[in-house]
């Protein structure tokens, strides 16, 4: 102790190391306690999906008011920022798939051996009603099985089967060749699928942060987000042309639509 008194710099260094380690311990304890409190009552694992970040990551607001980012166990969707346009396109389609099925929906989370990852995200199996969404997105071909980190053997088997069936049936990303081509009047019968919609762009309008490329009587619309308009400098030339819009078919207030992020999603037929 006398030596430390004679060397205040060394004493200060020891105190700084202690405080750093103590701070790290408190942070980890809080994270662990937060997860424990979250899981202490099974009803607290019910929540509403308030955001979709990509095909395999969402945010859930639990009934106790806590909001947490959630990474779905055992699946992997393409990255939105991938440098290859085709891969990035599939990533956006996976995001739209998850958004279409989960946004503002009530879900139940269950967990495996690890509750949180190093980024503070919950690692979970996501149940919507009786449907295990982790398996469902694989079965529909909008993600692949991710086995880098271990998880329940029975789920590994189910997930592998789901992906194999999607590949065999050519669903989602696994379709060989062009996506199914449909007419705008039939769009409402193909919701939730990757398709190519052929129609005459009857009108163009801007609203709610999108440019709408509308079909006749607005039976269908291709939507370009205004943040992406820089990639579509000649969009006005599409008026009165027959176009083919490719992407994930969803609907908003009863109108079938496809969000357009990349120029290759729109082709002029004539």
Residues belonging to the active site: 71, 79, 121
Show the tokens assigned to 93: 């389609």
Cβ neighbours of residue 142 closer than 8 Å, sequence gap 6 or more: 55, 77, 93, 94, 97, 98, 172, 173
Show the tokens assigned to 262: 């990349």
Contact criterion met (CB below 8 Å) for 143 and 133 = no
- Pairing type for strands 67-72 and 57-62 reads antiparallel
Size of the chain, expressed as the number of residues it contains: 270
Q: Report helix, strand or coil for 194.
A: strand
Cβ neighbours of residue 172 closer than 8 Å, sequence gap 6 or more: 93, 97, 140, 141, 142, 166, 194
């Amino acid at each position: 102790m006398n030596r430390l008194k004679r060397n205040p710099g060394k004493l200060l260094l020891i105190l700084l190391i202690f405080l750093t380690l103590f701070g790290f311990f408190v942070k980890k304890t809080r994270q662990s306690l937060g997860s424990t409190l979250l899981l202490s009552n099974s009803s607290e694992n019910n929540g509403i999906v308030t955001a979709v970040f990509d095909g395999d990551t969402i945010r859930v607001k639990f009934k106790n008011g806590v909001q947490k980012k959630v990474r779905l166990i055992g699946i992997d969707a393409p990255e939105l920022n991938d440098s290859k346009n085709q891969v990035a396109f599939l990533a956006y389609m996976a995001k739209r798939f998850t958004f279409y099925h989960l946004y503002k929906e009530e879900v139940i989370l269950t967990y495996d051996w690890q509750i949180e990852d190093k980024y503070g995200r919950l690692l979970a199996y996501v149940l919507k009603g009786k449907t295990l969404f982790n398996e469902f997105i694989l079965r529909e071909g909008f993600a692949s099985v991710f086995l880098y980190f271990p998880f329940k053997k029975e789920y590994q088997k189910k997930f592998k089967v789901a992906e194999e069936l999607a590949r065999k049936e050519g669903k989602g990303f696994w379709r060989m060749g062009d996506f199914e081509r449909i007419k705008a009047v039939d769009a409402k019968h193909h919701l939730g699928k990757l398709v190519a919609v052929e129609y005459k762009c009857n009108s163009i309008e801007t609203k709610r942060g999108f440019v709408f490329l509308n079909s006749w009587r607005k039976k269908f619309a291709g939507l370009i987000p205004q943040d992406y308009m820089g990639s579509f400098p000649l969009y006005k030339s599409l008026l009165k042309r027959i176009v083919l819009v490719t992407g994930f078919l969803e609907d908003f207030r009863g109108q079938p639509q496809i969000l357009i992020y990349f120029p290759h999603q729109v082709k002029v037929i004539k």
